């Protein structure tokens, strides 16, 4: 659940991003898992959904390997874009908290290093749009592709 006031806007990183409507001091909480708003899915639940919903969940949820669950933020938190030098620091995969990595001003985009919030990204070496450290495919078919270029995840 977002713990600060934000809005969605077009992002210079990719698609839509989350932008602050208030300043946040370094170290302050920005997001925390809260079952009242954030939704957890077992793989069996996802498998039984229509294709377009499965694609949506693969794009916007994070995977927690230890529990085998997918976590979908129930608010603007699902729209954090990836950055190699993110504006937030996460203390755990999916079920932790995100804090401001530095003092953040009104209008700044909130970003995460996806490798710190999703076990798919951490385990399988995922490259994301906007990550200048890897070459991107010309026509991405999924929100991210494997670093070895073998195709979408």
**Is residue 151 a part of any domain in this protein?**
no
- Kindly state whether residue 94 falls inside one of the protein's structural domains: yes
- Count of structural domains, the chain: 1
CATH of the domain at 30: 2.170.270.10
pLDDT, one tens digit per residue, over 43-86 is 889 888 999 998 888 778 877 777 888 888 899 988 888 888 99
Determine if the pTM surpasses 0.85: no
Which residue range forms the structural domain that includes residue 50?
Answer: 6-146
92, 99 in Cβ contact below 8 A? no
Residue 130 lies in a domain: yes
Q: Is a pLDDT exceeding 50 seen at residue 150?
A: yes
pLDDT digits (tens, 9 = 90+) for 2-43: 999 999 999 998 889 999 999 999 999 999 999 999 999 988
**DSSP of 24-72:** B-TT-EEEE--TTTSEEE-HHHHHTS-HHHHHHHHHHEEEETTTTEEEE
Residue 15 included in any domain: yes
Token pair for 51: 């294709």
Q: How confident is the model at residue 145 (pLDDT cuts 50, 70, 90)?
A: very low
Task: Please report where in the chains the tokens 């990836």 appear, as a residue.
Answer: 82
Q: What is the pLDDT of residue 31?
A: 93
**Cβ 83 vs Cβ 130: under 8 Å:** yes
């Amino acid at each position: 659940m977002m713990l600060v006031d934000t809005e969605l806007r077009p992002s210079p990183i990719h698609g839509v991003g989350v932008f602050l409507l208030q300043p946040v001091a370094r170290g302050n909480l920005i997001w925390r898992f809260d079952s009242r708003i954030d939704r957890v899915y077992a793989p069996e639940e996802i498998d039984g959904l229509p294709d377009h919903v499965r694609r949506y969940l693969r794009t916007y949820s994070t995977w927690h390997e230890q529990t085998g669950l997918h976590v979908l933020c129930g608010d603007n938190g699902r729209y954090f874009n990836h950055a190699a030098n993110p504006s937030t620091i996460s203390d755990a995969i999916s079920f932790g908290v995100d804090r401001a990595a530095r003092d953040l001003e009104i209008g700044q985009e909130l970003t995460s290093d996806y490798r710190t919030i999703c076990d798919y990204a951490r385990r399988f070496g995922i490259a994301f749009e906007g990550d200048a450290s890897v070459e991107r495919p010309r026509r991405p078919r999924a929100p991210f592709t494997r670093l070895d270029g073998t195709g979408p995840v």
